[in-house]
Every structure is written in structure tokens, then in C-alpha cells.
């Protein structure tokens, strides 16, 4: 298919649980840039197919703090950019105009995708009515205590919106009221465990211990009918855990 993949990575441009003011502070930005560099950026750079563009979208009021934080690190690869929220759609329209389909892949700035995910999307042929590719199976990872477990979410944030480019340029958008509404669109499910949902000390709404209360004894990737989210088998073997993490963020 003639398509362009753009990874949309919200950084601090959304008001999560009414904490936007905190996300505009230098302290918060410095911590979250560090997490991005250690996890999300590594995941993006680890993709087996680099034919995509990733935009990390930040609030215009935090421009100076963002630039100061980025100056402490090596330059980003040429297909990864920090961009002000007001410029995101302008850039997207410029990039996709010569393609038939636009795949908008969503990834939060502290999370990770399996190294083959972009390659899977490049090779995927969606059905004519499909508006979103749903990722239900993945992992939950606590980087503070190095804990990893299987995880299921019936309509996670790790999804890919599909647009006909002409429709997008004419203003069509898949409007949602939270991620749980993504599955209401015509969709296809991707069965492979493609994401890691990351828990750490600056999370606003996602905690390992809270999610553990959703514990399910069976394989949550197979036995999940009727569930919204399930916490599955915890990976306790250190070699297995290391191997899984390397499939998302590479070695080192």
C-alpha cells in the first residue's frame, strides 16, 4: 500500500488529570526528557524499519525548557523531531500529500513498541473500511523495581489510526472521548504483543500495583473475553525479562 507512517507522541501538550501546569515546569520536563531518552527514543531507534517520521509534540509555553533539556543530549536522528503542538498538523499535511494513506501511530513519550511494529504496519494491508488498528496485547513494566508482566487492554492507547490522505486533508479526523472509544470505530486487531506500558515515578495515571489488582490466572493474551484490562503472568526469570526488554529498546 502507498502509505506514510507518522508516530504521534504527545509530550506535555495535553491536560492529563488536570496536571498541565506541572507538565510545563522545568523539573517535570527534565525528568520526562530523561525517561524519553532512556526508553521511548531507544524503542524508536530500535525499529527494524525506519521509514517513518516521529513527532514529539509539546506545549508552546514550554519551548525554552524543552530546548534547554534537549541540549544536554546528542542530536536526535533525522526522522525524530520535537515540535510545538500548533505545528503538528501543518507538518503532517506537508508530508502526507503525495501518499494515498496516512497511518497515524500513537505512542506516549514514556512507552515502547516492539522493534518490528513499524515494519508490521508497513507490510499491513488494511480492509477498506478500517479506521483503526487496535493493539490489545502487550506488557506492563515497572522501571523503578524492574518488574515486567503480560498485559491486556481491550482498547489501549497503542493504536494506529488510518486515514485516506484526501479525507484527512479535507478535515476528517477520528474524534474520540478517551482511548476506550477507539474500538468503536471500524477496526482490526493486531494479535502480537506490540507494546510496553511503562510505570515510573512521574506517571500521572498508571501504576503497577494498581494494575496488579486486575490479576488474571490464565494467559491474558488468550483468555480476555469481556474484560477491559487484565494483568497477567509476571516475568520473574531475569534472562527472559532481559530478552523481552531488548526486543523493545535494544541492548545496553
As a whole number, mean pLDDT of residues 140-167 equals 96
For residue 176, the model assigns a pLDDT of 85
Considering the entire predicted model, what is its pTM?
A: 0.94
CATH code for the domain in which residue 221 is found: 3.90.550
- The per-residue pLDDT for 19 is 66
Q: What is the CA radius of gyration of the chain?
A: 18
pLDDT band at 42 (very low <50, low <70, confident <90, very high): very high
Q: How many domains does the structure of the chain reveal?
A: 1
Q: Quote the domain boundaries for residue 19.
A: 3-249
pLDDT on residue 177: 80
CA 242 to chain centre: 21
Average pLDDT over residues 39-57: 98
- The answer to whether residue 230 scores a pLDDT higher than 90 is yes
Residues with Cβ within 8 Å of residue 145, at least 6 apart in sequence: 208
Q: What are the tens digits of pLDDT across the range 77-102?
A: 999 999 999 999 999 999 999 999 99
Identify which of 42, 251, 10, 234 has the alpha carbon closest to the alpha carbon of residue 141. 234
Q: Are 104 and 89 in contact (CB under 8 A)?
A: no
Please give the mean pLDDT across all residues of the chain: 94
Q: Which of 97, 86, 105, 126 is nearest to 44 (CA)?
A: 105
In this model, does residue 25 exceed pLDDT 90?
yes
Q: 214 pLDDT band (50/70/90 cuts)?
A: very high
Q: What is the mean pLDDT of residues 227-239?
A: 96
pLDDT at residue number 178: 81
Residue 18 confidence (pLDDT) above 70: no
166 CB neighbour count, 10 Å cutoff = 12
Helices (H), the chain: 20-23, 26-35, 41-45, 63-70, 88-96, 117-123, 165-169, 208-212, 238-249
Percent of the chain whose predicted confidence (pLDDT) is above 90: 88
Alpha-carbon span 137 to 152, nearest angstrom: 5
The whole-number pLDDT of residue 236 equals 96
Strands 147-153 and 80-84: unpaired
pLDDT surpasses 70 at 204:
no
Amino acid at each position: 500500500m502507498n502509505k506514510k507512517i507518522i508516530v504521534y507522541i504527545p509530550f506535555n501538550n495535553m491536560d492529563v488529570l488536570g496536571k498541565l501546569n506541572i507538565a510545563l515546569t522545568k523539573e517535570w520536563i527534565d525528568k520526562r526528557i530523561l525517561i524519553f531518552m532512556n526508553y521511548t527514543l531507544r524503542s524508536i531507534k530500535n525499529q527494524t524499519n525506519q521509514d517513518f517520521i516521529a513527532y514529539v509534540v509539546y506545549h508552546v509555553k514550554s519551548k525554552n525548557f524543552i530546548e534547554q533539556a534537549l541540549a544536554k543530549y546528542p542530536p536526535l536522528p533525522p526522522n525524530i523531531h520535537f515540535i510545538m503542538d500548533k505545528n503538528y498538523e501543518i507538518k503532517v499535511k506537508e508530508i502526507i500529500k503525495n501518499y494515498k494513506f496516512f497511518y497515524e501511530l500513537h505512542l506516549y513519550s514514556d512507552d515502547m513498541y516492539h522493534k518490528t511494529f513499524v515494519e508490521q504496519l508497513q507490510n499491513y494491508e488494511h480492509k477498506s473500511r478500517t479506521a483503526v488498528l487496535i493493539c490489545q496485547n502487550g506488557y506492563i513494566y515497572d522501571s523503578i523495581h524492574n518488574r515486567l508482566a503480560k498485559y491486556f487492554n481491550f482498547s489501549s492507547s497503542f493504536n494506529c489510526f488510518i486515514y485516506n490522505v484526501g479525507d484527512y486533508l479535507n478535515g476528517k479526523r477520528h474524534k474520540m472521548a478517551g482511548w476506550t472509544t477507539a474500538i468503536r470505530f471500524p477496526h482490526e486487531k493486531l494479535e502480537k504483543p506490540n507494546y510496553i506500558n511503562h510505570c515510573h515515578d512521574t506517571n500521572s495515571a498508571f501504576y503497577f500495583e494498581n494494575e496488579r489488582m486486575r490479576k488474571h490466572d490464565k494467559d491474558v493474551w488468550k483468555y480476555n473475553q469481556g474484560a477491559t484490562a487484565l494483568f497477567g503472568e509476571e516475568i520473574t526469570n531475569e534472562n527472559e525479562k532481559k530478552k523481552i526488554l531488548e526486543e523493545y529498546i535494544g541492548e545496553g
